[in-house]
A and B are shown apart, each in its own frame.
Chain A
Amino acid sequence: MIRIGNASGFYGDRLGAVREMLEGGELDVLTGDYLAELTMLILGRDRVKDAGLGYAKTFLRQMEDCLGLAVERGVTVVANAGGLNPRGLAAAIDKLGVGARIGVVTGDDLRADFPEALTANAYLGAWGIAECVRAGADVVVTGRVTDASLVVGPAAAHFGWAREDWDALAGATVAGHVLECGTQATGGNYSFFTSLDVDRPGFPIAEVEADGSSVITKHEGTGGAVTIDTVTAQLLYEIGDPAYPGPDVVSHFDTIELAEHARGVRISGVRGSPPPETLKVCLNSLGGFRNGTTFVLSGLDVPEKAALVRRQLEGALGTEGLTWTLARTDQPDADTEETASALLHVTIKTPDPKRAKAFSRTAIELALGSYPGFHVTAPPSDGTPFGVYRAAYVPRDRVAHQATLPDGKVVAV
């Protein structure tokens, strides 16, 4: 059995979780997921400003605080915090002076194939991570590997799984899916939260067995709970077809068996089948500029107030790129001003940054000449660039998945 914990479900998750997980009990591996479609865009903008950035900076802070502790305890740290610049992150970790053996997984960056995109990253699988772990890395940093690969890689290295061990790989993928959003597996964001103590849920752990089955649990004494319901909730997060495709295996979510276990929930029975011939690519492009504001419409004549301000704004600015939503949050004869008020949201999306900026001025110029009670929830800004997400699929051989081992040797995966 190998005990794999998680300390991060997104870039911005609880900063102290790495320390909590290292000090809270036994672990073999500690993983962290820092990437999402939106995060790739945020990192892409960081990289435009400074080519040395593009990785999750909070992970570096966590390593500054805790990498020595992890090495001392013999816990391997595996994170996709490298984002768009895993080598940059590895170099920064090396500079911390802990003397940790660092493995790096690269090859996901496909900007050369998609030059029009701000970011273009294939979802790599687990085998690069497995190479680094096998080579004795204390910490493995990757770019865009699938979230579940953070768990599958160390498990595959530990048990010596082959690439065709579909059921074991699928079982570990399912465990990884449960772990990848951190406390969403342990009572966070949980529909029946009133039946649990979820004030400060602990981070999840998967005890993975040689056949890929697992027990989902958490450190003793931490908050939240691991129940069939909390695990079910997380299994349903961000999935599509129950035949869930990944770069290493298709995991059949309709074969998962859950059972209560003394320390949490046991997952077994998961069937796997060979993966698709293509790899998915996450593409973010700049879509233009956006701006928006929210008009507060209080009391009487709410539809007429909305119509007036809309006529005024569109009269001055034109209708192109504007989206309006009137939320009738107002109640009649209300005893607080807030519950007497409706909210009129307007957003502009435009290729022209000047037009996005002009939106603010136009909206504010209405302030003394519009509907009675005119005010907005926050003053509009100058407008900001927005991203457009698109998925693409490329043949596997277009992607040069590589593991750079702690001794500097580069292995093609």
Chain B
Amino acid sequence: MKVPLGTIAGARSGDKGGDANLGVWVRTDEAYAWLVGELTVARLKELLPEAGEVVRYELPNLRALNFVLHGLLGDGVASSTRFDPQAKALGEWLRSRHVDIPEALL
């Protein structure tokens, strides 16, 4: 079913210099198994076309993925001309993107 990712996933994002980080987590092991397969770097870039170089880290103990979006914020918050220069709402943007989520997880 095509629904917002945020139906089952939480997220929190922020800045480290010119990089943004975006943590995404879900609340069951089944949902995590799906998330790891679905939310690849390539898929994240499709959902957030503004992303450039992206690295993904897995934290199965937290049922979470952490993405580092390199260079998204230029020379950091004080210099960036981005709409959201500290990437505070990057996670909420991702949660609003529609993806195919298996009905069993909804």
Contacts and interface: CB of A to CB of B under 8 A. Distances in A.
A386 B79 contact: yes
Contacts of A236: 12, 21, 23-25, 59, 62, 64, 66
A78 B78 CA distance: 28
Interface in A230-285: 232-242, 253-258, 284
Main secondary structure of the interface of B (DSSP, over half): mixed
Contacts of A323: 81
B60 to A, nearest CB: 7
Given A240-B66, A254-B61, A390-B17, A345 B83 contact: yes
A66 to B, nearest CB: 29
A349 to B, nearest CB: 7
A239 B78 CA distance: 20
Interface in B22-76: 23-25, 27, 57-64, 66, 68, 75-76
Interface string B91-102: 110010000000
Contact of A257 (B27, B57, B61): B61
A191 B11 CA distance: 6
A237 B23 contact: yes
Nearest to A229: B10
Contacts of B91: 191
B64 A232 contact: yes
A381 interface: no
B77 A38 contact: yes
Nearest to A347: B81
A388 B76 contact: yes
B78 A41 contact: yes
Interface residues of A, number: 42
Contacts, number: 117
A233 B83 contact: no
Contact of A240 (B18, B21, B24): B21
Contacts of B81: 292, 323, 325, 347, 349
B79 A287 contact: yes
A233 B24 CA distance: 8
Given A237-B23, A239-B66, A389 B59 contact: no
Given A38-B78, A389-B76, A240 B68 contact: yes
Contacts of B25: 229, 232-233, 236
A337 interface: no
Interface string A35-66: 00110010000000000000000000000000
Nearest to B76: A389
Instruction: Give the one of A233, A236, A292 with max B CB within 10 A.
Output: A236
B58 to A, nearest CB: 8
Contacts of B79: 287, 290, 349, 386-389
Interface in A176-202: 184, 189-192
Interface string A186-230: 000111100000000000000000000000000000000000010
Interface of A: 37-38, 41, 184, 189-192, 229, 232-242, 253-258, 284, 287, 290, 292, 323, 325, 327, 345, 347, 349, 386-391
Given A236-B66, A391-B17, 5 more contacts: A235-B64, A236-B64, A240-B68, A242-B59, A325-B83
Q: Which 3 A-B pairs have the closest CB atoms?
A: A236-B23, A389-B76, A191-B10
